[in-house]
Amino acid sequence: MIRDAFIGLGAWSWIILGLVLIGVELLAPGTFFLWLGLAAIVTGLLDGVLDLSWQAASILFALLAVGAVVLGRFVTRSKEPPEPSASRLNQRGQALVGRVFTLETPIKDGEGRIRVDDSSWRVIGADRFAGAKVRVVRVEGSTLVVDDA
């Protein structure tokens, strides 16, 4: 029954299948169904032009699907190395090393605070007055170690 309906629609069945597969890609993204959908649409277009038998169209779809997935994998593969900041996920303090900030509160008895954007960070280092410029030299847990800028 399904086979008869599929054959009865002819080339349109491949185009409809392709649109359904691309729709599945929208619901479950992963760029795999996209390539299968495009292969089905191309199969439908070629079937419409060449009037292929259902067996020939199925073989053509299988070949186009494999080729499209391989081509898609090649196209979507990143050629650039990952950014260094990507390896510092959940290590925001590491991105601050080497940067210069102004002390928000003085460093007394080795402890003070700096403001970074919308947050305040605890810093340790030699005693300095509020407003002094300091450079972050390393991170110890959630505390920044600072030195003269």
What does the domain layout of the chain look like in residue ranges? 2-76, 86-148
d(C-alpha 7, C-alpha 4), whole Å: 5
Q: Would you state the pLDDT for residue 99?
A: 92
Q: Would you state the pLDDT for residue 78?
A: 66
Return the sign of the alpha-carbon dihedral for residues 93, 96, 101, 107.
Answer: positive
Helix (H) or strand (E) holding 117: none
Give 89's pLDDT tier (boundaries 50, 70, 90): low
Q: Would you state the pLDDT for residue 61?
A: 96
Pairing of strands 133-140, 111-116: unpaired
Q: Is 86-148 in CATH node 1.10.8.60?
A: no
Residue-wise pLDDT for 24-73, tens only, equals: 998 887 778 999 999 999 999 999 999 998 899 999 999 999 999 999 88
Q: Would you state the pLDDT for residue 85?
A: 52
d(C-alpha 24, C-alpha 71), whole Å: 20
